[in-house]
Amino acid sequence: MSHINVAGPINNQTLEKYKFHETMKSFRPSDRQHQALLKISKLPEGRVFVALNKQQIIGYLTLSHSDPIESWSKGNMSDLLELGVIEVAIPYRKQNVAKHLLKLAFLDTNIENYIVFTTLYHWHWDLKNTNLTIWQYRNMMEKLFRTVGFKVYPTNDPEITSHPANTLMVRVGKNVPKASVNKFDSLRFQNS
């Protein structure tokens, strides 16, 4: 990773200056994903972390409150953040870029005041370019998120339970009050 730098959280003015690698399109076309990152970076709680090769974004990670249309936002929890996306451009994979982005995002001691969750959905995984099976990919993702303290949590969320490879991973900061943990637990099983 000698020529790759990780940075963040970065503001939207800085983010606008960088080009977006064209192979990053797991969530939407790369130009639209770049626009989505700009939108997240403008949110009061939005945090965007990037991996850069010169002036090109070759990896990114986002943290923010859940979109209001998502069931995770129903609890109106100010101490709940979603790690919404993490993606690395195809030519830069297997260089620990994602791990470096995660490590940077979780260096800030303020993160200990939050429950951070991520939803791993198999339909976003690049099985074709990795030559991994769905289960190998899931194991890779779990291992990656465990490096910063995430654990698999059960849920009855319909999108997650729609396929056995989908999963919910959660990291509870050490300063999060028990009341918030209980509220999040009820969100995980709101479809009961």
Provide, rounded to the nearest whole percent, the portion of the chain with pLDDT above 90: 67
| Residue predicted with more confidence, 72 or 133 | 133
What are φ and ψ of residue 84, in 5° steps? -75, -45
CATH architecture for residues 4-188: 3-Layer(aba) Sandwich (3.40)
Mean of pLDDT values over 157-181: 96
pLDDT tier, 130 (very low <50, low <70, confident <90, very high otherwise): confident
Classify residue 76 as left (phi > 0), alpha (psi -120 to 50) or beta. Answer: left
The structure tokens 């929890």 sit at 77
Question: Who contacts 1 (Cβ-Cβ below 8 Å, separation ≥6)?
Answer: 95, 96, 97, 100
Q: Residue 2: pLDDT band by 50, 70, 90 thresholds?
A: low
What does the domain layout of the chain look like in residue ranges? 4-188
Query: For the segment 48-57, what is each residue's pLDDT rounded down to a tens digit?
Result: 999 999 989 9
Question: How many CB atoms neighbour CB 26 within 10 A?
Answer: 16
Q: Which residue in the block uniquely carries the two structure tokens 């099976």?
A: 133
Task: Share the mean pLDDT of the chain.
Answer: 91
Task: Count CB atoms within 10 A of the CB of residue 63.
Answer: 25
Confidence at 26, pLDDT banded by 50, 70, 90? low
pLDDT of residue 123: 87
What pLDDT band is residue 22 in, cutting at 50, 70 and 90? confident
pLDDT value of position 156: 93
pLDDT of residue 1: 53
Q: List, for residues 78-98, the tens digit of each pLDDT value.
A: 999 999 889 999 999 989 999
Q: How far apart are CA 120 and CA 130, in angstroms?
A: 16
pTM of the model: 0.91
Taking residues 162-189, what's their average pLDDT? 96
The token duo for 35 is 């626009």
pLDDT of the residue at 192: 56
Q: Strands of the chain (E only): list them.
A: 4-7, 19-20, 47-53, 56-64, 80-88, 115-120, 151-153, 167-172
Buried b / exposed e along 103-138 (16+ C-beta atoms within 10 A): ebbbeeeebebbbbbbbbebeebbeeeeeeeeeebb
